[in-house]
A and B are shown apart, each in its own frame.
Chain A
Amino acid sequence: QKEVEQNSGPLSVPEGAIASLNCTYSDRVSQSFFWYRQYSGKSPELIMSIYSNGDKEDGRFTAQLNKASQYVSLLIRDSQPSDSATYLCAVKPGSARQLTFGSGTQLTVLP
């Protein structure tokens, strides 16, 4: 089992819809969770971080964390074509200092 798993996609949603990106992790004592956005040919860009159970909202983005289910998600409301990118879930396992990344979900927002 991979430490951090994401559906690779591609995930396609129409413009204005809600895009839902999911991530599961294996280390139950993981502490920190991050979502990065990576445009094709560019480097990952941090868009959200979440550390405690529940929802965290930042503009059109909402991160949701459920430690009991070892599940973290990212919702993008009112999706725009400019949101089309690969979204990487990153988790800091409890025993490690470095982040472990999922393989990413490719999102396409159709105009």
Chain B
Amino acid sequence: KAGVTQTPRYLIKTRGQQVTLSCSPISGHRSVSWYQQTPGQGLQFLFEYFSETQRNKGNFPGRFSGRQFSNSRSEMNVSTLELGDSALYLCASRLGLGDANQPQHFGDGTRLSIL
């Protein structure tokens, strides 16, 4: 069974640009969450999507947005990039929202560097 797939693996952008990251969940998983990981802040929750709807949102500015498609694939967009957006962006999937005990499974991440 294929795991969570994130593309691209690495990305270099400059300040003010925008970027779109992609995530394909494990087959059958319908919930996709996005996280930002930095050395200083650790793993921080961005948002979660289920059935093409954002179900939960962390404390990030509106420059960070996402969407989910009918096949459960998800994209995350960051506009007007800032130096502080340099981070590893991780996507995690799980079966759904109903079972609170479901673990999340992570993709390999997209490492975004802002110059």
Residues of chain A at the chain B interface (Cβ within 8 Å): 31-32, 34, 36, 42-46, 49, 51, 88, 92, 96-104
Interface size on B, residues (CB 8 A): 20
Query: How far, in whole Å, are A45 and B105 apart by their CA atoms in the complex?
Result: 7
B103 contacts which of A34, A43, A97, A104 (Cβ < 8 Å)? Answer: A34
Query: How far, in whole Å, are A92 and B42 apart by their CA atoms in the complex?
Result: 17
Say whether B100 contacts A31, CB under 8 Å.
yes
6 closest A-B pairs by beta carbon, nearest first, are: A101-B43, A103-B42, A43-B106, A98-B45, A32-B101, A97-B56
> Which residues, 88 to 112 on B, are CB-close (under 8 Å) to A?
90, 97, 100-101, 103-109
Say whether B42 contacts A99, CB under 8 Å.
no
Q: List 12 A-B contacts (CB under 8 A).
A: A32-B101, A34-B103, A34-B104, A43-B90, A43-B106, A46-B104, A51-B101, A92-B100, A96-B56, A97-B100, A98-B58, A103-B42
B75 within 8 A of A: no
Say whether B97 contacts A99, CB under 8 Å.
no
Residues of chain B at the chain A interface (Cβ within 8 Å): 33, 35, 42-43, 45, 48, 55-56, 58, 90, 97, 100-101, 103-109
Say whether B106 contacts A44, CB under 8 Å.
yes
B109 to chain A, nearest CB (A): 5
Contacts of B42 in A (CB 8 A): 101-104
A-B pair number, CB within 8 angstroms: 46
Q: A36-B106, A49-B103, A97-B55 are in contact. List 10 more A-B contacts (CB 8 A).
A: A32-B100, A34-B104, A42-B108, A43-B106, A43-B107, A88-B43, A97-B97, A98-B33, A98-B58, A101-B43
Contacts of B97 in A (CB 8 A): 97
Contacts of A34 in B (CB 8 A): 103-104
Query: How far, in whole Å, are A96 and B45 apart by their CA atoms in the complex?
Result: 12
Query: How far, in whole Å, are A31 and B55 apart by their CA atoms in the complex?
Result: 19
Say whether A99 contacts B106, CB under 8 Å.
no
